[in-house]
């Protein structure tokens, strides 16, 4: 099937579960087109049965950076356009710095930085030519702050956020929006035993990160946030002309930091929501608004 009409078209990586699935369902319910990627295309069978040709399911591992261009080209061949790229694919990882191997750390960067960067490079020529479009980078609460046991995961998300903040200023003059979503705990498979990566544990760190390990596992299925609600908020932000660069997404009234962190690590406040990035002119400044987070006390505490 080939179409060149004005129906909005989304590319969503990791669209078979979690927030990616919620965004895909919201787009399809709105009559839009979705190119969804996952490591196994058969995970889209249910969506295909419901939405037919409006969903193009593509088997792709985000760590295969060379394959990103093929996915984008396929989207253009089938639907004729791309309006929104959502870099959602990825997984979490738990382990102290000493427990995380080079390969495990590299995997986080491949999933959360190199993979998204490859998709952005592949889609930008099309978006620039049309002088419109949006790029949604699914970061995390762990992309603005970190805590013991999740350093390797945060390394990928911190890198994604820094890269994306610069990207926002670079593409704003071409009419392209960048939105960095920073979800906290949502009812997805993120914490499931077969999804969450866990390093080989050392008893040396049991007292330091044992509670975090347990909490991450116990959270599976009982996370506070609603993925469907988060998807709708993201859609609303993309339709808001003066939306901020960063979108912290958490349950209403909920805490921003990990529930079992020592109190000093949780004592943070947000200031300057929606402030402009200094020195960026005109459209670039409008495309690069920031949320500034500051620590109110040091972490780790002095002994």
Catalytic residue numbers read 139, 153, 157
Task: Please state, as a whole number, how many other Cβ atoms lie within 10 Å of the Cβ of residue 240.
Answer: 11
Neighbours of 34 (CB within 10 A): 28
| Distance in angstroms (rounded) separating the CA atoms of residues 125 and 147 | 38
Angstrom CA distances, 29 to 23, 78, 200, 226, 298, stand at 10, 19, 42, 17, 46
**Distance linking the first and last C-alpha atoms of the chain:** 65
Give yes or no for a contact between 12 and 32, defined as CB atoms under 8 angstroms apart. no
CA distance 197 to 103: 12
What is the DSSP code string of 96-148? -TTT--HHHHHHHHIIIIIHHHHHHHHHHHHHHHHT-EEEEEE--GGGT---T
Contacts of residue 55, defined as CB under 8 A and 6 or more positions apart, other chains included, come to: 24, 28, 33, 34, 36, 44, 47, 48
């Amino acid at each position: 099937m080939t179409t060149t009409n004005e129906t909005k078209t989304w590319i969503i990586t990791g669209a078979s579960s979690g927030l990616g699935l919620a965004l895909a369902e919201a787009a399809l319910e709105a009559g839009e087109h979705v190119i969804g990627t996952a490591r196994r295309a058969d995970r889209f069978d249910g969506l295909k049965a419901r939405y037919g040709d409006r969903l193009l399911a593509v088997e792709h591992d985000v760590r295969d950076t060379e394959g990103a261009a093929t996915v984008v080209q396929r989207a253009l061949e089938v639907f004729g356009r791309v309006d929104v790229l959502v870099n959602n694919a990825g997984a979490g990882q738990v382990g102290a710095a000493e427990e995380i191997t080079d390969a495990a750390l590299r995997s986080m960067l491949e999933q959360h930085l190199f993979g998204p960067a490859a998709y952005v490079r592949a889609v930008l020529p099309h978006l620039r030519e049309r002088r419109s479009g949006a790029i949604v980078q699914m970061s995390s609460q762990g992309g603005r702050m970190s805590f013991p046991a999740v350093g390797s995961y945060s390394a990928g998300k911190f890198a994604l956020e820094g890269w994306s903040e610069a990207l926002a200023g670079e593409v704003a003059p071409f009419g392209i929006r960048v939105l960095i979503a920073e979800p906290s705990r949502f009812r997805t498979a993120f914490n499931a035993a077969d999804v969450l990566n866990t390093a080989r544990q050392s008893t040396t760190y049991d007292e330091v990160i044992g509670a975090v390990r347990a909490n991450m596992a116990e959270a599976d299925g009982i996370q506070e946030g609603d993925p469907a609600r988060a998807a709708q908020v993201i859609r609303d932000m993309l339709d808001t002309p003066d939306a901020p660069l960063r979108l912290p997404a958490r349950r209403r009234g909920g805490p921003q930091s990990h529930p079992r962190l020592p109190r000093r690590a949780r004592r943070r406040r947000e200031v300057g929501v929606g402030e402009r990035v200094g020195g960026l002119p005109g459209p670039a400044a409008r495309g690069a608004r920031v949320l500034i987070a500051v620590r109110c006390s040091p972490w780790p505490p002095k002994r």
